[in-house]
Amino acid sequence: MRALNLAMIMICAMPAVAGAQSLDGLKGLLSSTDPIVGALKSALGVTDNQAEGGLGSILTLAREHLAKGDFDKIAAVVPGAQKYLDAAKKLGAVTGPVTNSAGLNSAYSRLGIAPETAAKFTPTVLDAVGKVGGESVRNLLAGALK
């Protein structure tokens, strides 16, 4: 019975493993179930901490600029949004209010994200939020980040 269960697990996991196409891709599949963090890691080559801290920094800026109900719409499409807000603080990216793009760029810098990667970070998050939550949520977030 145990062998049968193991065989079933392996059969179910094979498409995901095959889709990873590399050891790094497999690590990404295993380490992150959040599609936004996965998109950041895949598209930009950032670490888990950089993806999570950067996403938390963006959410911090959005929370400071939006009414609670509007921020809640964004948080609803980011699995574990509070975890990312907390990670940004814990990792030292957010050390106080993030009120504008300069503050967001400082947060990226504190995470060790290179300027050329940081320039792609926000658009990547916006695209991922749009895919998960739709264009209206994407536009809501984009407006908060201006």
Residue 2 lies inside a defined structural domain of this protein: no
Q: Using CA of residue 60, residue 105, residue 74, residue 31, what is the dihedral sign?
A: negative
Residue 14 lies inside a defined structural domain of this protein: no
Q: Number of structural domains, the chain?
A: 1
Residue 1 lies inside a defined structural domain of this protein: no
78: three-class secondary structure by DSSP: coil
Nearest to 47 by CA among 135, 128, 121, 143: 121
Kindly report, residue by residue over 3-50, the tens digit of the pLDDT: 433 333 334 444 444 444 444 444 444 445 688 999 999 999 999 999
> Which tokens go with 67?
């009414």
The whole domain housing 90 covers: 23-144
Question: 27: number of CA atoms within 13 Å, CB side?
Answer: 9
Residue 112 lies inside a defined structural domain of this protein: yes
Neighbours of 138 (CB within 10 A): 20
Q: Is the pTM of this model over 0.85?
A: no
Contacts of 25-31 spanning 24+ positions with Cβ under 8 A: none
Residue 18 lies inside a defined structural domain of this protein: no
Residue 88 lies inside a defined structural domain of this protein: yes
Residue 3 lies inside a defined structural domain of this protein: no
- pLDDT reported for residue 23: 44
> 122 or 17, which is more confident?
122
DSSP conformational letter for 96: S
Residue 117 lies inside a defined structural domain of this protein: yes
